Amino acid sequence: MGRSTAARARVSFSVLTAGAWVSILQPMKRKRHPHSVGSGRAVAAAVAGICLIGSGVWWTLRGTAPTADSDPNPGPSRRQSAARGNDEGAGGASQAHRISFAEIVALCDSWEIPKLTREEIENHLNRSGRPTSGLLAASNLIEGPEYLLEAAKKSPSDPRVLLALLLYGGDESRLGALSAFRAAAPDNPLGDYFQALEDFRSGRTDEAFAAVAAATAKPGFESYALDTRGEMERMYRSAGYSPQAARVVAMFRDSQAGNLELAGLGDHLGVEIRRAAGRGDTARSLTLARQGLVLAERIRRTDTLLARAAASAHEMAVLAALPEASVIEPGGPTVGEMMSRCRSARAEIESLASMAGHLSEMAPHDAERYYDLAWQAGEFQAAQWLKAKLTVGE
């Protein structure tokens, strides 16, 4: 059960550097990634293909960068072993506790994200009764299908499992997982959005737009990401990592592939908006624009800088299809004004991202405060706090 390269993208929870924005925020109308399976996955491939090292910045494709995932039985690297004291007889917990918070951040910063051994993962799973959430977390930490397959066997109708199969299970399981996910979580618009991507890819444009309309009418939007992230934190803590260190590693291990794929819908909507406007069907073009803006806001609520970047890319693709003087909502701002606000939001995120390099220069308690805020309130709020902290200190 191979995972497609784009879907395997592991994009860190942490902030972006300004140099990544060209590839993220320009309309994604380029040649498809050779391993992509649709516009959304082309977005994911384009974004995840950027590999940047900075304080708190890690972008990589699983299997192509030096991570634990390519090793079927990963163990600590030389640098990690040194940080842990390289005392194999002391047990996982005592070794892990020797890694300071600063060392954890430095390891993540240099692509050496601290790894758990298969034994440590198995110990945690066995102690906790091998819950579905634990198996999904393990599938994020170990390359290979076994944990995802075990989760699917244990909980075949669990939406979290079906979404993981949809994103990471490979082409042979994607369609079945999509159908099952929509049946298991009929009130979650996420399934309709992914159905729209599938329909666009297959040339079923009428069905795709119907799926987008159905998704827009549903109030919820659940990606289950926090469940997996929380389980990864518990897994690292059970191996002896401090609560702060476990949180940092779990955030770096978090995947946002779903948000990146969904952002690809903006281009599809933009094409149809232009066609509708060209034939004088203003009502349809504005309806599609409203639907696109709803999705942008839903992606943005994930409250990571990457999600906000993806939301901006999607939003700009939708707005760019309309004349700047047009108005989407009666009495509301013009499209030109909305695009200006979108550019301002992008500039704000760029400004917040530029602060990332200062984390390593801050006092440990301030760096810990940043990650605590990021865990509890979201990365965007944490980045705002960081910027204010550094600005005051100037």
The sign of the dihedral angle between the CA atoms of 343, 348, 351, 352 is negative
Is pLDDT above 70 for 129? yes
User: Could you tell me which of 39, 38, 10 has the C-alpha nearest to residue 27?
Assistant: 39
Say how many C-beta atoms besides its own lie within 10 A of residue 123's C-beta: 16
DSSP string, 247-265: HHHHHHH---HHHHHHHTH
Is pLDDT above 60 for 202? yes
59, 12 contact by CB (below 8 A): yes
Q: Which position has the token pair 């995802």?
A: 148
- In degrees and rounded to multiples of 5, residue 73 shows phi and psi of -140, 70
Cβ within 8 Å of residue 215, ≥6 positions away: 189, 190, 191, 192, 193, 196, 295
Q: What percent of the chain has pLDDT over 70?
A: 73
Domain ranges in the chain are 1-394
Per-residue pLDDT band at 341 (split at 50, 70, 90): very high
72, 113 contact by CB (below 8 A): no
Report the interhelical angle of 146-154 vs 132-141 (nearest 10°): 170
Instruction: Write down the pLDDT at residue 357.
Output: 67
Overall average pLDDT of the 30-34 stretch: 28
CA distance 353 to 347: 10
Burial class (CB in 10 A: 0-12, 13-18, 19+), 376: exposed
DSSP string, 135-147: HHHHHHHSSSSHH
Is pLDDT above 70 for 73? no
Q: Which of 23-32, 106-115, 287-296, 381-390 has the lowest mean pLDDT?
A: 23-32
Token couple for 163 = 């979404």
Per-residue pLDDT band at 218 (split at 50, 70, 90): very high
Cβ within 8 Å of residue 367, ≥6 positions away: 101, 102, 105, 359, 360
Bigger pLDDT: 366 or 194?
194
User: Could you tell me which of 52, 57, 48, 59 has the C-alpha nearest to residue 4?
Assistant: 48
User: Could you tell me which of 162, 225, 185 has the C-alpha nearest to residue 375?
Assistant: 225
Is pLDDT above 90 for 96? no
Q: Mean pLDDT of all residues in the chain?
A: 76
Is pLDDT above 50 for 22? no
Bigger pLDDT: 354 or 82?
354
